[in-house]
Chain A
Amino acid sequence: MDYRSPLSRARGLGSAGQGVHHWRMQRFSAVALVPLTLWFAFSLASLDGNGYTAFAEWLSRPWVPALASLFFAAAYYHAALGIQVVIEDYVSRESTRVALILFANLVLLLLAVSTIVSILVTALQGSNA
């Protein structure tokens, strides 16, 4: 039984036991994004130029809101994990680094939630029209 906190263990140069989590989640989201991105890009490209009606109709089809939401969730999560590594590599001052990662996460979370909620609203509007 170890009563030390993960932080205290890490400071004592032991492992916090979370080192692999970021790496693993980056791979999991990457694997999910391979089919989701291909589906999303080709679906969206085939709609191009057909305007609001086609877009709303597409979003109110069965499975499309679910798959599109999954795509955006995985993509924003993968984006947050990726930008974190880039910030960690290039920003050496700890306070700036932590602040930037927090800021990036907040912006990406806000946009992810906004996009997914918008998908659901459009899907419901489309099916009522």
Chain B
Amino acid sequence: MDRPISPHLTIYKPQVTSVMSVLHRASGLVSIAALLWISLLFIAAPYGEQRFEAVAGIVFSWPGKVLLAFLALSLFYHLCNGIRHLAWDTARGLTMPAIRSSAVWVLAAAVVLTLLVLIV
């Protein structure tokens, strides 16, 4: 059967609500990649210092750090927007003005958390 399947996003004009929603799913997928990437570090540790340093050398290399910064931004976006979703699940903050302002808060908090994690 060639029924149209959901979700088909391209026919809609981008809006705050839909873009934040698409980003939530995308950042969730990127966060899975981040989880696997960081797991390598922990899985390498029992192999001893040499093998661990080889993996850590890649993960914390200069390009590795750029990647980590991007992964952190994506993770913190997903975390902050996830809190927004949890609030919606309790039927709070569902008016259009609240949805727009919480979107701004989520983006700001994600950027601030990323900057903080980069400087600690």
Q: Which residues of A line the B interface, CB within 8 A? A: 27, 30-31, 33-34, 37-38, 41-42, 44-46, 48-49, 51-53, 55-56, 59, 68, 72, 75-76, 79, 82-83, 86, 89, 92, 111, 114-115, 118-119, 121-122, 125
Interface of A is mostly: helix
User: Using Cβ atoms and an 8 Å threshold, which residues of chain A touch B25?
Assistant: 86
Query: In the bound complex, do residue A119 and residue B35 qualify as a contact, i.e. CB atoms below 8 Å apart?
Result: no
Q: At the interface, yes or no: B16 with Cβ under 8 Å from chain A?
A: no
Given that A114-B39, A115-B39 are contacting pairs, would A125 and B79 also be in contact in the complex, using a CB cutoff of 8 Å? Answer: no
Report Cα–Cα, A118/B117, bound state, in Å. Answer: 25
Query: In the bound complex, do residue B28 and residue A52 qualify as a contact, i.e. CB atoms below 8 Å apart?
Result: no
How many residues belonging to B are interface residues under a CB distance threshold of 8 Å? 37
Q: Which residues of B line the A interface, CB within 8 A? A: 5-7, 25, 28-29, 31-32, 35-36, 38-39, 41-46, 49, 52-53, 56, 60, 72, 75-76, 79, 82-83, 85-86, 89, 113, 116-118, 120
